[in-house]
Amino acid sequence: MTEFDPEKFEEKYVHYMDELQTAYQNAYQHFHGQYDSTLLRSIDRKVLSESEPFYEGDGEFRVELPENPRERAGDVPVDDETFDAVLREFADRIERELRRVFEFETE
Do the domain assignments include residue 80? yes
Do the domain assignments include residue 63? yes
Q: Please, what is the end-to-end C-alpha distance for the chain in angstroms?
A: 16
DSSP conformation class of 78: S
Do the domain assignments include residue 52? yes
Q: Average pLDDT over the chain, rounded to whole?
A: 93
Do the domain assignments include residue 1? no
Do the domain assignments include residue 107? no
Q: Which stretches of the chain are DSSP H helices?
A: 12-15, 17-31, 37-42, 69-73, 80-101
The pLDDT, as a whole number, for residue 105 is 82
Q: How many domains does the chain have?
A: 1
Do the domain assignments include residue 106? no
Residue ranges making up the domain that contains 44? 8-101
Average pLDDT over residues 71-79: 92
The pLDDT, as a whole number, for residue 107 is 62
Do the domain assignments include residue 55? yes
pTM: 0.92
What does the pLDDT look like over 21-72, one tens digit per residue?
Answer: 999 999 999 999 999 999 999 999 999 999 999 999 999 999 999 999 999 9
A 10 A CB-CB count for 43 gives 27
